Amino acid sequence: MQVLPNITIEHYLGLSAVLFCLGLFGMMFRKNAIIIFMCVELMLNAVNLALVAFSKIHGDTDGQIFVFFIMVVAAAEVAVGLAILMMLYRNMHTTDTDQLNSLKG
Amino acid sequence: MLTEYAFWLLSFIAVFSGIAVIISKNPVYSVLYLIMTFFSIAGHYFLMNAQFLAAVHIIVYAGAIMVLFLYVIMMLNLNNIETEKRHNIIKLLAVSAAGLLLLVLSGAVQKADEIAVSGKVGAAGMVENLGIALYRNYLLPFELASVLFLAAMVGAVYLSKKNLNETQSA
């Protein structure tokens, strides 16, 4: 007897949408710049999940290769972003995005 | 049958720890919950027969990126409790914007064809097929990614130099 329905592409896309919206919500909700970075990572992972699901149903590797390149860009982004954050903290002594409101000074 | 249970369990863990990332007061807890989310997403990759991707995901995210996050949080000594809060109007705007986007996305997902994911058996996620695709069809993007990493490395080292202001003014 089948208790739970079969897992379709709809389920994976729904989970991906929920995780993406959680990341977006966190980006707007939190003030700490490090948490905002983590929410960006959450959104990138939601997209990765959808790409892998598409790759699975089509049975080819292109979606997974795309996920690899998203991981590459995410790693580069985190390295540069955290370096910027450290420089900001050294000069302004805060990572609160409400106080980081000027480009110079 | 086992696949369905695993799917719902992993989805619950992913969404629960995603919420916990946002509402945790302490940034260190946020990092730990985010690692939990990444592990459950890696479990989803396993379910979809993308074993190599799951391994790479754990190594890159849990092993490298989140360690970098933890390192920066502890170096900047940010693990104090955040006291200041957002205005209520901004909270309301954040909730409504994210909720509306979720509404639009779920409306779009409703129209998707009911293609079963779990039933199909594919060898697309194996190392052999991925390697062939990566080094044959996607060789140029692969090489360009190394240039991107070099640029990111140089940029990160330059930005985190200690006396940036002194060297510029001198």
For chain A, give every domain's residue range: 31-105
Give the end-to-end CA distance of chain B in Å, rounded to a whole number: 69
Q: Does A105 touch chain B (CB under 8 A)?
A: no
Domain B1-82 annotated CATH 1.20.120.1200: yes
For A43, nearest residue in chain B (alpha carbons) = B18
Q: Tell me which of B14 and B119 has the higher pLDDT.
A: B14
For the ranges A48-62, B82-96, B155-169, the lowest mean pLDDT is seen at: B155-169
Which one-letter amino acid corresponds to residue B107? G
Query: Would you say B114 and A10 are in contact if contact means Cβ atoms under 8 Å apart?
Result: yes
- Considering only CB atoms, which chain A residues are within 8 Å of B41? 45, 48-49
Please write the tens of the pLDDT for every residue from A14-68: 999 999 999 999 999 888 888 999 999 999 999 999 999 988 888 888 889 999 9
ipTM of the complex: 0.89
Contact A45 B38 (CB under 8 A): yes
In 3-state terms, what secondary structure has residue A8? strand
Residue of A nearest to B130 (CA): A61
For B116, list phi and psi in degrees, rounded to 5.
Answer: -70, 130
Kindly state the average pLDDT of the residues B6-22: 93
User: 3-class DSSP state for residue B116?
Assistant: strand
Q: Is B131 within 8 Å of A18 (Cβ atoms)?
A: no
B90–A48 C-beta distance less than 8 A: no
pLDDT digits (tens, 9 = 90+) for B98-135: 999 999 998 888 877 777 776 555 666 788 888 888 89
**What's the token pair of residue B64?**
């490298």
% of chain B at pLDDT higher than 70: 85
The mean per-residue pLDDT over the stretch B139-156 comes to: 93
Confidence of residue B155 (pLDDT cuts 50, 70, 90): very high
What pLDDT, on the 0 to 100 scale, is given for residue B122?
Answer: 61
Question: Which of the two residues, B77 and B20, has the higher pLDDT score?
Answer: B20
Residue A105 has pLDDT above 60, yes or no: no
> Is B50 in contact with A55 (Cβ distance < 8 A)?
yes
Report CA A2 to chain centroid distance, whole Å. Answer: 35
Q: Which CATH number applies to A31-105?
A: 1.10.287.3510
Indicate the length of chain B as a whole number.
170
d(CA B12, CA B56): 23
**Distance (Å) from the C-alpha of residue A101 to the closest C-alpha of chain B?**
15
- Residue A56, pLDDT score: 87
